[in-house]
């Protein structure tokens, strides 16, 4: 072992090889001694600082917070909703991903076949929605089967829309307020109407 | 409260999770000093250290705090939380006592000096100089010195707190100590010409 190897592998444990080198190398031995003295001095500094503690008001504030929340609730009492929350988050992420994927495409009627090569699970249709509304819709611009999503914009009279078919898990149905449908086992197929801005406007369940 | 003295941190944590306020207070009193001092050393600000200490134990109150006994001790975990909070505070522009840039990877090995600054460390002013030198270390070296040399954490807990391998803790600590010695030397002899000193060489 040379000096470089000694200080590269330097740890608190002094193995036999390190000890032998220190016996043979006065420079490294002196350096080691300086380190020992430094560490001892740091311990002196530490001892002086040992009495330093957080002010009492910190403990008082924490105890008040602990009491206010009733301690820490046992895991078993809170875990029931964690899976629901996880699934809802996953469903929301899937939905957002779907919207993101179709947002910039805005396919026209003649280009619809190209979109049929989209990944499985997404079935595309493109139509002139204003015509459809005239033929089948009501005064709101939606087909009777479509349910407007909360906080979504209305479809304009000349706005071109897209439909995307998705599988909606029960947790996402719950999040959207469709409690009765969420009670069914398994995911539900639905057509989501996307406006020209790529945002979801309404949903139609297709498994009825 | 004395009944908790023999209990481990993990046992106290289990009790506080079941709503035992005394266990919470006992655990707080056992660990708050070290957390406060660490935050104080790192931030240089009593107000920041107070905030960090409070936030660390607020995190511990949460059921999903993320502590895993299989990954390390509660002490190491608490220091890790404190460190993140301190760094967040520093990033927001709170006080940082580091006097040098935090990019000192090319630190030279310990210099051979003619008068040993460590001789002074046995005196009061020497201790003060050492304290200043610690606070002037770049952050990555200061935190490892505070954890390992001042709070006497073992390397495993320090690695958990710093989020790095144990080997990194060792090498940073080694560099930090060398840098401390250099700073002490410079403080003791602040005359020009330090750069002319040659590193001590060993021919073996």
Per-residue pLDDT tens over the stretch A119-158: 333 333 333 333 333 334 444 445 567 888 777 777 777 7
* Average pLDDT, rounded, for chain B: 80
Work out the widest C-alpha separation in chain A, in whole angstroms: 99
What pLDDT is attached to residue A4?
66
Cβ B137 vs Cβ B176: under 8 Å: yes
Q: Tell whether ipTM is more than 0.85.
A: no
Of the candidate ranges A36-50, A87-101, A139-153, A190-204, the one whose mean pLDDT is the lowest: A139-153
Domain, as residue range, for A36: 3-49
Q: How many CB atoms lie within 10 A of CB B64?
A: 10
Contacts of A65 (CB under 8 A, 6+ apart): B58, B61
Q: Nearest residue of A to residue B58 by CA position?
A: A62
Residue whose C-alpha is closest to residue A145's, from A184, A203, A80, A82: A203
- If you compute the radius of gyration of chain B from its CA atoms, what whole number of angstroms results? 19
What pLDDT is attached to residue B146?
94
Q: Are strands A123-127 and A188-194 parallel, antiparallel or unpaired?
A: unpaired
> What distances in angstroms separate CA B189 from CA A27, B81, B106, B129, B182, one per listed residue?
22, 39, 22, 12, 11
Asked if the Cβ–Cβ distance from A38 to B58 is below 8 Å, we say no
Average pLDDT over residues A150-177: 75
What global pTM score does this model have? Answer: 0.56
Q: Return the domain boundaries, chain B.
A: 2-91, 117-191
Which pLDDT band, with edges at 50, 70 and 90, does B53 fall under? very high
Average pLDDT over residues B48-58: 94
Same structural domain for residues A128 and A182? yes
Asked if the Cβ–Cβ distance from B149 to A46 is below 8 Å, we say yes
Residue at A59 is within a domain: no
Residue at A201 is within a domain: yes
Residue whose C-alpha is closest to residue B35's, from B180, B173, B161, B135: B161
Asked if the Cβ–Cβ distance from B152 to A46 is below 8 Å, we say yes
Burial A144-160 (b: 16+ CB within 10 A, else e): eebbbbeeeeebeeebb
Residue at A55 is within a domain: no
Question: Number of structural domains, chain A?
Answer: 2
Distance from CA of B166 to the nearest CA of A (A): 11
What pLDDT is attached to residue A45?
85
In eight-state DSSP terms, residue A181 is H
Select the more confidently predicted residue: A172 or B90. B90
Residue at A74 is within a domain: no
Whether pLDDT at A28 is above 60: yes
Same structural domain for residues A15 and A116? no
What pLDDT is attached to residue B99?
38
Cβ A32 vs Cβ B15: under 8 Å: no
| Lookup: tokens for A200 | 């979801």
User: How far out from the chain centre does Cα B151 lie?
Assistant: 7
* Average pLDDT, rounded, for chain A: 70
Contacts of B87 (CB under 8 A, 6+ apart): none
Q: How many CB atoms lie within 10 A of CB A208?
A: 8
Residue at A184 is within a domain: yes
What pLDDT is attached to residue B98?
45
Average pLDDT over residues B44-53: 93
Average pLDDT over residues B95-113: 43
Of the candidate ranges A139-148, A151-160, B21-30, B126-135, the one whose mean pLDDT is the lowest: A139-148
Select the more confidently predicted residue: B103 or A92. A92
What pLDDT is attached to residue A70?
76
Whether pLDDT at B55 is above 80: yes
Same structural domain for residues A26 and A84? no
What pLDDT is attached to residue A135?
37
What's the CA gap between B70 and B11, in Å, rounded? Answer: 14
Within 8 A of A77 by CB-CB distance, chain B residues are none
Whether pLDDT at A195 is above 60: yes
Whether pLDDT at B71 is above 50: yes
Distance from CA of A182 to the nearest CA of B (A): 28
What's the CA gap between A26 and A18, in Å, rounded? Answer: 13
Asked if the Cβ–Cβ distance from B127 to A78 is below 8 Å, we say no
In eight-state DSSP terms, residue A184 is S
Asked if the Cβ–Cβ distance from A34 to B116 is below 8 Å, we say yes
In eight-state DSSP terms, residue B198 is P
Cβ B169 vs Cβ B137: under 8 Å: no
Same structural domain for residues A27 and A122? no
What pLDDT is attached to residue A183?
62
Run of H or E including A200: strand A200-205
Select the more confidently predicted residue: B102 or A186. A186
Same structural domain for residues A182 and A140? yes
* pLDDT tens figures, B56-68: 999 988 877 788 8
Q: Nearest residue of B to residue A55 by CA position?
A: B50
Asked if the Cβ–Cβ distance from B63 to A65 is below 8 Å, we say no
Which pLDDT band, with edges at 50, 70 and 90, does B97 fall under? very low
In eight-state DSSP terms, residue B110 is P
DSSP H helical ranges for chain A: 3-8, 16-24, 26-49, 56-68, 75-78, 81-103, 112-115, 129-136, 170-176, 179-182
Select the more confidently predicted residue: A84 or A142. A84
Q: Which CATH architecture has domain B117-191?
A: Orthogonal Bundle (1.10)
What's the CA gap between A45 and A41, in Å, rounded? Answer: 6
Q: Among A54, A65, A72, select the one facing B63 at the smallest CB separation.
A: A72
What's the CA gap between B69 and B92, in Å, rounded? Answer: 31
In eight-state DSSP terms, residue B199 is B
CATH number of B2-91: 1.10.1740.10, 3.40.1160.10, 1.10.10.10, 3.40.50.300? 1.10.1740.10
Within 8 A of A53 by CB-CB distance, chain B residues are 32-33, 36
What's the CA gap between B163 and B157, in Å, rounded? Answer: 10
Cβ B142 vs Cβ B86: under 8 Å: no
Q: What share of chain A has pLDDT > 90, as a percent?
A: 7
Select the more confidently predicted residue: B36 or A188. B36
Average pLDDT over residues B160-176: 92
Same structural domain for residues A99 and A171? yes
What's the CA gap between A168 and B81, in Å, rounded? Answer: 39
Q: Among A31, A53, A71, select the one facing B110 at the smallest CB separation.
A: A31
Distance from CA of B126 to the nearest CA of A (A): 9
Asked if the Cβ–Cβ distance from A42 to B118 is below 8 Å, we say no
Which pLDDT band, with edges at 50, 70 and 90, does A1 fall under? low
Run of H or E including A193: strand A188-194
What's the CA gap between B105 and A173, in Å, rounded? Answer: 55
Residue at A91 is within a domain: yes
């Amino acid at each position: 072992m040379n000096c470089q190897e000694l200080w590269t592998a330097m740890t608190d444990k002094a193995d036999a090889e390190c000890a032998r080198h220190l016996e043979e190398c006065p420079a490294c031995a002196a350096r080691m001694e300086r380190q020992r003295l430094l560490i001892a001095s740091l311990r002196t500094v530490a001892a002086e600082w040992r009495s330093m503690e957080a002010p009492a008001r910190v403990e008082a504030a924490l105890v008040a917070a602990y009491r206010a929340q009733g301690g820490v609730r046992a895991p078993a009492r809170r875990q029931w909703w964690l899976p629901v929350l996880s699934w809802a988050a996953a469903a929301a992420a899937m939905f957002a991903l779907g919207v993101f994927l179709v947002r910039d495409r805005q396919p026209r009627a003649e280009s619809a076949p190209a979109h049929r090569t989209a990944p499985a699970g997404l079935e595309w249709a493109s139509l002139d929605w204003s015509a459809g509304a005239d033929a089948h819709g009501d005064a709101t611009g939606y087909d009777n089967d479509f349910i407007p999503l909360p906080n979504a914009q209305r479809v304009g009279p000349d706005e071109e829309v897209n439909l995307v078919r998705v599988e909606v898990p029960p947790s996402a149905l719950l999040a959207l307020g469709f409690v009765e449908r969420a009670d069914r086992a398994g995911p539900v197929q639905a057509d989501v109407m996307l406006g020209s801005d790529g945002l979801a406007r309404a949903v139609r369940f297709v498994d009825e | 409260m004395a009944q908790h003295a023999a209990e481990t941190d993990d046992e106290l944590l289990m009790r506080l999770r079941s709503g035992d306020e005394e266990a919470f207070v006992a655990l707080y009193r056992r660990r708050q000093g070290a957390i406060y001092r660490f935050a104080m050393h790192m931030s240089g600000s009593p107000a920041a250290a107070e905030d960090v200490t409070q936030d660390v134990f607020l995190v511990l109150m949460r059921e999903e705090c993320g502590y895993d006994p299989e990954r390390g001790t509660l002490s190491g975990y608490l220091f890790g939380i404190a460190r993140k909070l301190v760094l967040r505070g520093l990033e927001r522009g709170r006080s940082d006592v580091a006097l040098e840039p935090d990019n000192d990877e090319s630190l030279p090995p310990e210099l051979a000096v003619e008068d040993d600054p460590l001789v002074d460390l046995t005196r009061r002013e020497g201790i003060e100089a050492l304290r200043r030198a610690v606070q002037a270390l770049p952050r990555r070296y200061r935190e490892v010195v505070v954890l390992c040399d001042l709070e006497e954490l073992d390397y495993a807990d320090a690695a958990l707190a710093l989020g790095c391998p144990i080997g990194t803790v060792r090498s940073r600590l080694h560099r930090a100590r060398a840098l401390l010695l250099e700073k002490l030397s410079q403080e003791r002899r602040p005359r020009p010409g330090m750069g002319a000193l040659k590193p001590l060489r060993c021919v073996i």
